[in-house]
Every structure is written in structure tokens, then in C-alpha cells.
Chains A and B, each alone.
Chain A
Amino acid sequence: MTQDLAELSRVLYSPTAIALYLSAAFVYLYALTTTVGRRDERERGRKAQMLGAVLTVLGLTAHIAHEIIRGIVQSRLPLGNMFEVTSLMALVGILVGVGYLTFVRKRPELNGFALIGGALLMGMSMLLYAEPGPLMPILDTWWRPFHVSMLVAAMGIFAAAFVFTGLYLLRDTGERAVAAGRTSVTRGSTVGAAYVGDLDGGGPDLDDDPDARDHDAEYRKALRAGIPIVKLAVGTFVVTGMVSWVWWVTEDSTRVGVTRFLTVNLVMVAAALLARWFVPFLPSTATLDGLAHRTVAFGFIMWTVGTIAGAMWAEVSWGRFWGWDPKETGAFLTWVAYAGYLHARATRGVQGRKAAWIGIGAFVVMMGTYLIANYVIVGLHSYAEL
């Protein structure tokens, strides 16, 4: 019976929830491409958005059901090992990302990116899958749900912020390239530039004006062409490699290790190339940058509170509040990195692209310390069942 339930919870998670999220993401991404189309296309896009919403809700249902059943099977909150933490991180990331975009920002067409980010995290968590089991006694306290869920939520939020930051950098690169090309080729002519970022429906009449439609399609192509494809792919591979080497070095069999390393990297490269294709349909750089900043600010507060709670728990449980354990060092590094991002945003001359790169770096630091402290360096926090 328990075995069946455990199996059910696994199936609900993978492939059910992952597949639902991914299909919802693709439907949303299709809807995004229709925002610049003709009236009938926009109508189809609206329908696609509704389908995407249904798929998202189904995915969330499967995901939450997975968490509940897993909790019942092991009669404890599913927050005890790496798989469970990463799974909940994805759930929080999707809930916060989709909820924020849909209800606060009212830009549901961007949900696809949040969903893809969440699905990627879930795919990664399957590399860490552990069968349900009981909890170590030291974890059996009310401190755990508080401290861990706080930090996990913050990680999910930082993941959403990372997606926004990456999209901002892509869009900004494209826009800059178009602006540079325009001044050099057409000597400052602004033909085709009138519709930049003008996506809330007030743009030119694309239904009746074929010229405007052509301009628009050309502009989209120019934006995409402005992002060098090889540089993007190699860059994504290198940046992902800064984190994913952990799989390479910790796997006993080199073949499995390299396969995992390459899988993670190539999936991220594919995601980056997909995002590049969707760059013309993104909102303005200002909106994306603002989204990234708001999510980081929220995540930063959660991270701060979660880390303080962790120090309080450590004082109770281990008799010391801070000992520079690898996990504690990781929490500190992540905190410093995101504090650096927030300060950069407030500093003249570092704003914009430079701040965004700091944001990307901060996410690399977070994921890197998370994996390293669990896999590579053994410390007091190493409860993870690997």
C-alpha cells in the first residue's frame, strides 16, 4: 500500500507534473508570439492562454498532490532531503512567478518562462531523487519547516528572478544591436523603430496595414539577429558548467557523471536558444529589469529571515549559532551576492546590464554553494540522502 502510494507520488511528479508544466509553457509561449499578430491571431492567442492556464492549474494540482501523498507516505513534511527541497523550490517558484505575473503584473503571456524555469528545476531534482523515508531526529522540530521552507521559497524566487534577468539581458542585447545597426546602416533613420516595446495593444494597426506588419516582422528578425547565437550558446554552456561540474566530479562512474553534466548544460543551452527566439515578443527591457529587481528584493528578505532562523536553530541544536559550516558559508555568500546586486542597482554607473550580470552571478553562487555544500564538502548540514 505504502509502496503503491510512493510510486503514485513519483508518477504524479515525473512525468505528469513536469509534462503538464512544459506543455503549458509551450502554449503560453505560442500565445506570446500572437501578441504582435493580426486580430484573429490575437484571438487564437487568448484561447491559447486559457488552455495554458488550465494546463498550469492541472500541473500545480499534480505537483501539490505529489507533495501531499509523499508527506502521507512518510508521515512528515516533505522537506527532508535534496530532492524534496528542490521539488518544493520549483513549486514555490512556479506559484510565485505565475501568480505574480498573472494577478499583480497582469502579464500572463509571460508565464511560459516561469513555467520553463520551474520544469527545468524539477528535471534537475529527478537527478537527486530519493525514495520517501523517515527523518533524522535532529531535523524533527518545528524549526525545520520554518527555516527550510523560508530558504527554499527564497531559492524559488531567486530562480524566477534569474529567468527575468536572463531575458532582460537578451532583450537588451538585441535592442542595442538593432540601435547600433540602424545608426550605421541607415544613418540614423528610425524606420521600423516606432513599435519598440509597444505591446499593450496601442501600437500600429497591424490588421489593415501590411507595411506595418512587414516592418514589424523585420524588426523581430533584426532583434533576434542582434544576439550572436554561438556566443549565447557557449556562454550559457560555460555559466551552467560553473555549477554543473558538481555532477561530473561527484558521480562514481565518469561516464554517468559526464552524461549528467552534458545533459544539464545542453538543456540550459537549449533553453537559452529558445529564449532567444522569443526575445522579440518580450516586454520592454525596463519591465523585465523591474520584474527581476522586485523578485530579488522579495527573495532577499526571505533569505535573510531564513538564514537568521537557521542560526537560531543551530544555537539550539548544535550549541553554536554560526560556525562557518559549508552550508552556512554558502548562505552567507548568496546573501552577499544578492546584497551586491541590490546595491549595484542603487549605484550610478553600475545599473542596467552590469547589475544584471551581478544578478546572474548571484544565482550561480546560490546554485553552486547549494550543490557543493551538499555533494562535495561534507559538513554538519549534510543530511541529504544522495
Chain B
Amino acid sequence: MSTESTLPPEPNPAIRRPSRRPEPGGPFAFVWDSVKMAWRWLTRMRTALYLLGVLALLTVVATAVPQEPNVPSTVGRWLTGEEGPGAGVSRVLDAFGAFDVYGSAAFLALTLLLFISLTACLIPRIRAWVRLVRTSKPPLVRHLGGQDQLATFTTDRTPDEAHAAAQQVLGERHWRLRAHAGDPPEERTAKPAQVAGEKGLWSREGGSLLFHLSFYVLLAAIVFGQLLTFEGQRGIVEGDTGFRDTAVSYWSYNPGRWFDETDHAGWRLDLDTFHVDWVRDPLAAGAGQPTEFRSEVTVTPPDGEPYQAEIDSNRPAMIDGMRVTQLDWGYAPRVVVEVDGEVVHDAFVHATASDGGFFSGAVKAPAAEPDVGLELFFYPFAPEGEDGQPVPTGAPWDDAPMLLFRQYRGDLQLGATQQTVNELDTTGLESEGGAFLRPGQSVELGDVTIRYPEHRRWVGYQVSSRPQIPALLAGAGLLVAGLIPALYAYRRRLWVLAVRDEATGRTLVTVAGRAFQRPEAFEAEHAAIVAELSAATGGGFDEAAEPPDRSDGSGYPRATEDRTDHDGDRPDHDDLTEAPTIRDRRTDVLPAPARSGPPSEVVRR
């Protein structure tokens, strides 16, 4: 830079250096131009906000429309028009992938676009930040005019001693410092001797970068987690044979692509007792609410001694790195079906809770000829009314259990149609009437005898293995660790200028500061620094004290400070809105003539 230049020197290099590569010309230049325009559009902050908005809309869709992976039967009913807005609308929804939003191409593409946009935004910011940390120095001033905070005091120490004291005071407060010995005053860009300090520049931007970078950790953890995870569900009846952790023994089995069947440890789980209770007094507060939900289990490791364990709502069991959680529960009536004296079914039936206050299940006995099917409705509390007939109530405790069933004969179509275990597909079956049974009772319908000797309870467990959890936690930790400085580290600059006042022979120390965020909080900090510095230099108050930038006798040119936006940060709105503009305007005058006061008092603007 020539000495003729009136431009201030550039303390930090600009973020975007001009491209050195020649741009392609010729007939296909428009292709290159379109790509460039698309790239610019994609990497704008505003675009990222729009993309995030569309992503949010998709999650709304996923909440309003049933999702195939969660409730496939509901989706099926929507598609046939039995439920939802009708078959036509459902077909349109299906075409747009609305029944599997989180697995849809649109969702994946949007996530990809967001991450491309984020990457494109972050790379220059990270480079600028690294350059900032490695090379930037707090900027010097030529003149202290126009700063938010300004205070002056006098001391008998020399300017050099005052600067040394300032370095010590600010150093203890963790400011980044730059001491300047002063330029010869002939130079046009001469700057007086000073100590310049800066704070919050790295941490605010660094925190913001860390916050955004944590999304890559989270994304990686989620993607790899999808591949490595395992989730399976299985119900167990109290005191009945339990189940082994093998691929075939789960009711529902969802392994990640990289989860191998040999990853199962093969432990065994038996349910000894299941405790469940409710507030039974209908007049008590919270009547009907469950109060207990706990199972006592026996775990048998593949090569070890069996041991007892307890699984509570919030205390899952950990077995060989697999988490076992209670999902749901129900009653399991034992139903024995005999046809012509031959037992065709004798097992505990898993009845699941329904909205009507009963538990429903199904018996499918293909061993009979023709097949026998039973629809079961288990009412745990159906006391006898005045006429001797059971009165079903919605209460879930089994004080007066009753098993209601409807019998069907015909072809169960097992294997021919998709069926769930506890629902009977009654198409092609003939109803043979029904009856209700109390425990221990039996009933004969034609050649079929149905007995209900007892009932127990069953609990549905979820077994899951999620190796990604530590990575997810690390990502979440990084996110919060970045978020706090990104929002709460405030950028501040401070300059301490000490000059010899020829008239009095004393040293005039001026402390000027600038707050980029929250200036009102900086006011107190500035005052504290001034007080500390004036105490450290034995400073006091002088009749002739005037800020040097107003005295004009210092011989420095009246230029403004280098306020180049050299560090290239995005303008923070705080800079614009929170600056105390009105107060500045009103008080932008010479400080009032000094009154004598205690030594620590200072002139404040």
C-alpha cells in the first residue's frame, strides 16, 4: 500500500478472494451460468430458511397422515377408503409418498439440500474463522471519537507505565491484546501509542460454527444408527415359557442393514410376576389411573447362572448390551378348544386392550375339521347385576373376569391371506353363535367344547440395541456447547490510550470501548475496567482533564477509526438495534467541566 493512499490498511484479508480461474465462454456459457446461479441460490441463508420451513411442513404432514412404518393397518384402511378422506385422496397422498414421509425421496432430498446448503455456508466461514484465529489482531485506532463508551482519568505514571498496567488489567480479564508503541506523527496513517483489546470475536463465531457442525455428528449418528440398530418386540405370559433372543423368536423384527443375526447373544427372558394396579376408588382423585407397572423377570445368560431382575416403566433392563423395555400389556386367558373330545387348542391367548374397556384376541385352531376360529372379548371387571347377568364395566382390574366369545367355523385361510395374530378374518367363516364364560366354566356349542380354566397377564417387551447413542449424545453436547457462546459471547473492543499532557505534566489515560452486542451490559464492564485501571495506576481526577480526542493538541490527524468490517462477520442485528443512539446524540458534546472528586472518579461521557 502506498503512503499516498487514504484507505486504512486491511487488518484481515477479505473472506472471498476473487476467482483466479477463467470462466468458460462459448455457446454453453449459459449452462455454467445457470449452475452458478443455482449454487448461489442454494447457499443463501434465506434459501436455507425456506428449506427448513418445507422440512417442518413435511413433519406436519407426517403427523396428520398415518405412517406406513408405524401403523400399516391404518394406512391400508386409508387406501381402501374405509377411513380417512377417501380412496381417491389417499391415492394422491400415496403418490406423493405421504404415507412414509421420513422414508420418502422428498424428505431425503430436502435433508441432502439442507446439508449441502449448510456445508457451502460453513466452509468459507470456517476458513475465515481459522484465518481470524491465526492472524487477526485487535485493530488500532487513530482517534477515539465515536466509541460507545469513553472515560478519561489522569495519573502521575508515564504513558508507558500506564499502558503496561492496562495490559496487565485486561490480560487478567482474558482480553486479546495488542500493544502499539506509536507511529511517527509524520505518517498520514499514524496511530498513537495504545493498547488495543478484543473479546468475544472467536468464541461467538466459533460457538456458532460448533453448533452448526454438531449437525454433521448428529446426521452421521442417525445414518449409521439406522444401519447398526436392532429393534424387536415380543410378548411373554406370566409364568409361561419365556423367549430366547434369537432372530426367529420375535413377533416383530426390525434389524438395521448391518445388523447380523449372529449379533444376537441368545439370552433367555422369563416373566415371573407382573404388577399392575390402578386408583380403584371411583371418587378418588385420578380415578382409574394406573399406579404401578412393573415386571419381575428371570434372565438366563447364554453361558451363566440365571438371575432375577426388575423392569419398571423408567428402569429398563440391560442384557448383554440390549435394552429391554416394557411396551404394553394385556390379559392372557387360557382357552381350551375340544372338538369331539379331541383338544385342538390349549394355550394362553394374548388379548390386547381396546378402546371399549375390554381386551380382544383370537383363537385360530386349524387342527379341527373344519377350522375353528374364536373371537375373544375379555372383560376383566364384569360383576353380576341384579338380574344375574354380567354387567361389563370399563374397569381394567380383574375382580370379576368374564370371557365373551363368538365361534366361527370354516376356512381360516391361514397362510393364504395376511392376518394379524389377534384378529380373526371372518370372511369365508360361518358364525356358530357365542357365549360368555367365567373362570373354570366351559360351554358346548355343537360338537365343540370351549373351556376357560384361568387367565394370566402378558407383557410386551421391546428389545433394542442402539450403538449410536454415545455419538448422538456427543452431538447433542456439541450442539449445546456451541449454542451458548453463539448467543452469549458478546464482541467487545477496547482501547487504552495514555498521553502526556504537556500543560500539567501528568498522564491522561483514555479508555474507549465498543460493544457489538448488548451495549447496556458493556457499560458496567467498561466502568469496572476503568475503575480497576485507575486504581492500578494510582490515577485520579484532574481539573484539566479532557479526552485527548477533543483537545486536538495531540498532533494526531482527526481521522476516524479503522472501521473496516475486516473480520467479515455477518452483520449482527444487535449492532444496529441495541446501540444507544439517542443517548449518544444527546450527550455528544464536550464533557462538563470537571469538578474535584475522589481519586477514583472518572469523567464519563
Chain B's closest residue to A3 (CB) is B285
A137:B325 contact, CB within 8 angstroms: no
A interface, size bucket: 35 or more
Q: Among B30-38, B525-533, B577-585, which stretch is in contact with chain A?
A: B577-585
Chain A's closest residue to B45 (CB) is A347
A138:B573 contact, CB within 8 angstroms: no
B interface, size bucket: 35 or more
**Hey, which chain B residues are within 8 Å of A336, CB to CB?**
52-53, 55-56
B137: Cβ under 8 A from any A Cβ: no
B325:A317 contact, CB within 8 angstroms: yes
A14: Cβ under 8 A from any B Cβ: no
Shortest B115–chain A CB gap in Å is 15
B464:A339 contact, CB within 8 angstroms: no
Q: Among A22-30, A262-270, A326-334, which stretch is in contact with chain B?
A: A326-334
B52:A134 contact, CB within 8 angstroms: no
B327:A319 contact, CB within 8 angstroms: yes
**Cα A308 to Cα B462 with chains together (Å):** 22
A329:B62 contact, CB within 8 angstroms: yes
Chain B's closest residue to A315 (CB) is B469
B314:A316 contact, CB within 8 angstroms: yes
Interface residues in B385-425 by Cβ distance below 8 A to A read none
A225: Cβ under 8 A from any B Cβ: no
Contact of B286 among A134, A286, A324 (CB under 8 A): A134
B325:A141 contact, CB within 8 angstroms: no
Q: B253-271, CB under 8 A of A: which get 1 and which 0?
A: 0000000000000000000
A241: Cβ under 8 A from any B Cβ: no
A289: Cβ under 8 A from any B Cβ: yes
Q: B586-597, CB under 8 A of A: which get 1 and which 0?
A: 100000000000
A324:B62 contact, CB within 8 angstroms: yes
Chain A's closest residue to B468 (CB) is A321
**Cα A179 to Cα B46 with chains together (Å):** 30
B325:A324 contact, CB within 8 angstroms: no
Interface residues in A282-330 by Cβ distance below 8 A to B read 284-286, 289-290, 293-294, 297, 300-301, 304-305, 308, 311-313, 315-321, 323-324, 326, 329
**Cα A349 to Cα B571 with chains together (Å):** 11
A33: Cβ under 8 A from any B Cβ: no
B483: Cβ under 8 A from any A Cβ: yes
Shortest B484–chain A CB gap in Å is 6
Contact of A136 among B290, B312, B484, B582 (CB under 8 A): B290
A348:B62 contact, CB within 8 angstroms: no
B314:A317 contact, CB within 8 angstroms: yes
**Hey, which chain B residues are within 8 Å of A286, CB to CB?**
577-579, 581
**Cα A283 to Cα B487 with chains together (Å):** 24
B291:A134 contact, CB within 8 angstroms: yes
B573:A346 contact, CB within 8 angstroms: yes
Residue with the greatest number of chain A CB neighbours at <10 A, chosen from B55, B63, B294, B520: B63
Would A198 and B313 be within 8 Å (CB), given that A131-B285, A343-B49, A347-B45 are in contact?
Answer: no
**Cα A316 to Cα B576 with chains together (Å):** 46
**Cα A350 to Cα B53 with chains together (Å):** 15
Shortest A62–chain B CB gap in Å is 22
Contact of A197 among B49, B70, B279, B582 (CB under 8 A): B582
Contact of A138 among B293, B464, B466, B582 (CB under 8 A): B293
**Hey, which chain A residues are within 8 Å of B351, CB to CB?**
none
Would A140 and B46 be within 8 Å (CB), given that A134-B285, A290-B574, A304-B479 are in contact?
Answer: no
**Hey, which chain A residues are within 8 Å of B67, CB to CB?**
324
Interface residues in B476-518 by Cβ distance below 8 A to A read 476, 479-480, 483-484, 487-488, 518
A355: Cβ under 8 A from any B Cβ: yes
B231: Cβ under 8 A from any A Cβ: yes
Chain B's closest residue to A305 (CB) is B480
**Cα A284 to Cα B67 with chains together (Å):** 49
**Cα A336 to Cα B216 with chains together (Å):** 17
Shortest A286–chain B CB gap in Å is 4
Q: A85-100, CB under 8 A of B: which get 1 and which 0?
A: 0000000000000000
**Hey, which chain B residues are within 8 Å of A134, CB to CB?**
279, 285-286, 289, 291
A377:B573 contact, CB within 8 angstroms: no
**Hey, which chain B residues are within 8 Å of A321, CB to CB?**
466, 469, 472
**Cα A338 to Cα B221 with chains together (Å):** 24
Contact of A319 among B56, B325, B476 (CB under 8 A): B325
B464:A319 contact, CB within 8 angstroms: yes
B59:A329 contact, CB within 8 angstroms: yes
**Hey, which chain A residues are within 8 Å of B314, CB to CB?**
138, 140-141, 143, 313, 316-317
B476:A340 contact, CB within 8 angstroms: no
Contact of B45 among A141, A301, A312, A343 (CB under 8 A): A343
A202:B586 contact, CB within 8 angstroms: yes
B570: Cβ under 8 A from any A Cβ: yes
Residue with the greatest number of chain B CB neighbours at <10 A, chosen from A105, A140, A200: A140
B286:A377 contact, CB within 8 angstroms: no
B436: Cβ under 8 A from any A Cβ: no
B479:A332 contact, CB within 8 angstroms: no
Residue with the greatest number of chain A CB neighbours at <10 A, chosen from B45, B577, B579: B577
A317:B52 contact, CB within 8 angstroms: no
**Cα A294 to Cα B572 with chains together (Å):** 13
Q: A102-122, CB under 8 A of B: which get 1 and which 0?
A: 000100000000000000000
Chain B's closest residue to A348 (CB) is B571
**Cα A324 to Cα B102 with chains together (Å):** 9
Would A308 and B313 be within 8 Å (CB), given that A197-B582, A319-B464, A385-B286 are in contact?
Answer: no
B323: Cβ under 8 A from any A Cβ: yes
**Hey, which chain A residues are within 8 Å of B586, CB to CB?**
202
Shortest A52–chain B CB gap in Å is 23
**Cα A255 to Cα B314 with chains together (Å):** 42
**Cα A29 to Cα B95 with chains together (Å):** 56
Would A355 and B573 be within 8 Å (CB), given that A304-B479, A324-B102 are in contact?
Answer: yes
A133:B289 contact, CB within 8 angstroms: yes
B543: Cβ under 8 A from any A Cβ: no
Chain A's closest residue to B325 (CB) is A319
**Cα A141 to Cα B487 with chains together (Å):** 32
**Cα A352 to Cα B573 with chains together (Å):** 8
B582:A74 contact, CB within 8 angstroms: no
A137:B290 contact, CB within 8 angstroms: yes
Shortest A2–chain B CB gap in Å is 8
**Hey, which chain A residues are within 8 Å of B289, CB to CB?**
133-136
A315:B466 contact, CB within 8 angstroms: yes
A337: Cβ under 8 A from any B Cβ: yes
Contact of A344 among B49, B472, B572 (CB under 8 A): B49
Shortest A188–chain B CB gap in Å is 19
B576:A326 contact, CB within 8 angstroms: no
Shortest B274–chain A CB gap in Å is 13
**Cα A344 to Cα B49 with chains together (Å):** 8
26 CB < 8 A contacts A-B: A6-B285, A131-B285, A133-B284, A136-B289, A140-B314, A202-B583, A290-B518, A293-B577, A301-B487, A304-B479, A304-B480, A304-B483, A308-B476, A308-B480, A313-B314, A315-B466, A318-B462, A319-B316, A320-B231, A329-B59, A333-B59, A336-B56, A339-B52, A342-B487, A344-B49, A345-B573
CB-CB nearest 5 A-B residue pairs: A133-B286, A319-B325, A133-B285, A141-B314, A138-B313
Interface residues of B (CB under 8 A from A): 45-46, 48-49, 52-53, 55-56, 59-60, 62-64, 67, 70, 102, 231, 279, 284-287, 289-294, 312-316, 323, 325, 327, 462, 464, 466, 469, 472-473, 476, 479-480, 483-484, 487-488, 518, 520, 570-574, 576-579, 581-583, 586
